[in-house]
Structure 1
Amino acid sequence: METSTEDVAGTDAAVGTGTRVAVGTVAEGMAGADTADVPTETVADVAVAAVTARPPASLSPSRANDFMQCPLLYRFRVIDKLPEKPSEAATRGTLVHAVLERLFDAPATERTAPRAKSLIPGQWDRLRETRPEVVELFADDPGGERLARWLTDAERLVERWFTLEDPTRLEPAERELFVEASLDSGLKLRGIIDRVDVAPTGEVRIVDYKTGKAPRPEYAEGALFQMKFYALVVWRLKQVVPRRLQLVYLGSGDVLTYDPVIADLERVERKLHSLWEAIREATETGDWRPRPTKLCGWCDHQASCPEFGGTPPPYPLPVRAPESGDTEQGRMGPD
């Protein structure tokens, strides 16, 4: 599950280990930086940002996807830092991720489905403590019926994981691992990897849990973008190309795997450079154009979006006058 390192709201790290681990600790040979897409901005940072906006300084998979989906959405989240309401689906994903992470604290023989399910109430309590905004999800459910169904759905997702992987045979090298790398161009990439497995032979597998359903085959490449992003970071950090990228879809019971090669990672790097240049240009000109899609129906920012008759807040950063020859912003070309 990909989370944002630029944003405190919506990060799984709230119920994860909450620690920062050097990537260099991964089996002494795999990864190197600090840890867990944990927020790299503290609550205090966000409070300061509300007063003094700052231009983007790094790129994570979630924010890269935001810009590709809609440049204005990227602006609302990264620069304006507009609040968003928690959703039941995303919060359930955060809860399930925390349970699967904590399960590996137990000895291998005790990593059973009943034990995993028993972790859910405690992790839900912890989530409510660290992210009080999720309490409002069930504010209109005084009898607790909807909450009970929601927790039952979380149990089903946890149970399904045991049909896809055997945790008694796994000893992850890292869980909720924060990775960060600066490319030669100066672009800083960062994110959180759900799990890193390292074979005795040194081969690396990057694993990500998804609580939704697997995409149709024609959309599989988009789903793998996040994983290739992580693979690129690991490669640039340690000159190690992960042997396998694995997406575990708990919503449908599917496992999607991909074995990357250097050419894949070089293509992703070129794409990210192009993307970052477009973000830099939009930041300097203030030209963040909305890109309407069917996903707009789930956006929290319709009241501030011109596509829905809204007006964005005043742009909080300096703006330079457009120069002749400037390209239209927010229009990404093919890979």
Structure 2
Amino acid sequence: MQEQLGFDFGAQPRKLVRVTPAKLATWTDCPRRFRMAYLDRPTPPRGGAWAHSTLGAVVHNALKALFDLPADRRSPEQAVALLHRQWKDDGFRDAEQAARYRDRAVVWVRDYVAELDTSVDPIGVERWVSTPTSKIVAEGRVDRIDLRDGELVIVDYKTGRHALTVDDARGSQALALYALAARRTLRKPCHRVELHHLPTGEVAVWEHTEESLGRHVARAEEAADELALAGDTLAAGGDRDVLFPPRTGRRCGWCDFRRSCPEGQQAAPALEPWALLAP
């Protein structure tokens, strides 16, 4: 009788796939790299530190530490002192090169903080946010979440060599998922996302609509379906090279798993650890 009425009490609810923007981006960039990073155990050996990653991490950490201070101590000079305290030389060619980029980062951070209203506490700094959709649980850590005029604003710091545009903010799946996750976690509306490019001082802004957020979710769910199916098939004995093929290109020159990927080694020459720094 229950079956005739359309009830199926034996069916198991579908398990939601937990994803972060980094996980989705890795799958899209290269399924083999995804497998090595998230599925292979033990994880294949990674390459060494990259100078541009060290630079970005130091700047992020200094800005996080700044907002951990009382508002009356959040000065440009204090931000610079925190950057010096956080500094590492990992990945740089030598001490001279590291010092040169440290001096650049000092200018970036000092000028950026000088333009900020640091008397206002962000609603979140390095805040973990999460939200379910019909197929996934999207989650991740946001650099900064501001509260402006009753709405949340997602702020993402960037220190890369290229200036950013409105298209970068609009097309960022990470920022869109953060906006959705932040508004669920913090129970406030969120549509505005911002990329703050410290080397140029430029801010790329996009105001999402429900439709544009929905398009990002649909693409994320599609990618999550693919990676989950590949992972389940691998666990059932599937061929790992068929399920997780390499997607070769210029990125192979700086892939962390290059030493474990013959196709990647053939696709692009290995880059020096400092090669992706801005000239």
Q: Residue 137 of structure 1: SS of its match in structure 2?
A: coil
Counterpart check, 1:151 vs 2:107: no
TM-score, scaled relative to structure 1: 0.64
Q: d(CA) in 1 for partners of 2:187 and 2:75?
A: 36
Residues 97 and 209, structure 1, Cα contact 8 Å, conserved in 2? yes
1:290 corresponds to: 246
Counterpart check, 1:174 vs 2:124: yes
* Larger Cα-atom Rg: 2
Residues 111 and 167, structure 1, Cα contact 8 Å, conserved in 2? no
Counterpart check, 1:73 vs 2:50: no
Counterpart check, 1:255 vs 2:255: no
2:150 corresponds to: 202
| Compared CA separation, residues 203 and 174, structure 1 to 2 (3 A) | same
Counterpart check, 1:214 vs 2:163: yes
- Which of 86, 104, 113 is equivalent to 1:162? 113
2:194 corresponds to: 246
2:71 corresponds to: 108
Residues 117 and 155, structure 1, Cα contact 8 Å, conserved in 2? yes
2:23 corresponds to: 63
How far off is 1:172 after superposition? Answer: 0.6
1:227-274 deviation per Cα after TM superposition (whole angstroms, max 9, x unaligned)? 101112234546644141111011222101111111112111111111
- Which of 171, 184, 194 is equivalent to 2:134? 184
TM-score, scaled relative to structure 2: 0.76
How far off is 1:145 after superposition? Answer: 2.5
Q: d(CA) in 1 for partners of 2:164 and 2:116?
A: 23
| Compared CA separation, residues 257 and 147, structure 1 to 2 (3 A) | same
1:226 corresponds to: 174
- Which of 250, 257, 262 is equivalent to 1:301? 257
How far off is 1:97 after superposition? Answer: 0.7
| Compared CA separation, residues 146 and 275, structure 1 to 2 (3 A) | same
How far off is 1:304 after superposition? Answer: 2.0
Counterpart check, 1:137 vs 2:88: no
Q: d(CA) in 1 for partners of 2:108 and 2:250?
A: 27
Q: d(CA) in 1 for partners of 2:100 and 2:156?
A: 25
How far off is 1:156 after superposition? Answer: 2.4
Q: d(CA) in 2 for partners of 1:107 and 1:189?
A: 32
| Compared CA separation, residues 256 and 242, structure 1 to 2 (3 A) | same
How far off is 1:106 after superposition? Answer: 3.2
Q: Residue 251 of structure 1: SS of its match in structure 2?
A: coil
Counterpart check, 1:87 vs 2:43: no
In structure 2, the gaps of 5 or more residues are: 1-15, 267-279
Answer 1 or 2: which has greater strand percent: 2
Q: d(CA) in 1 for partners of 2:250 and 2:151?
A: 40
How far off is 1:137 after superposition? Answer: 3.3
| Compared CA separation, residues 63 and 299, structure 1 to 2 (3 A) | same
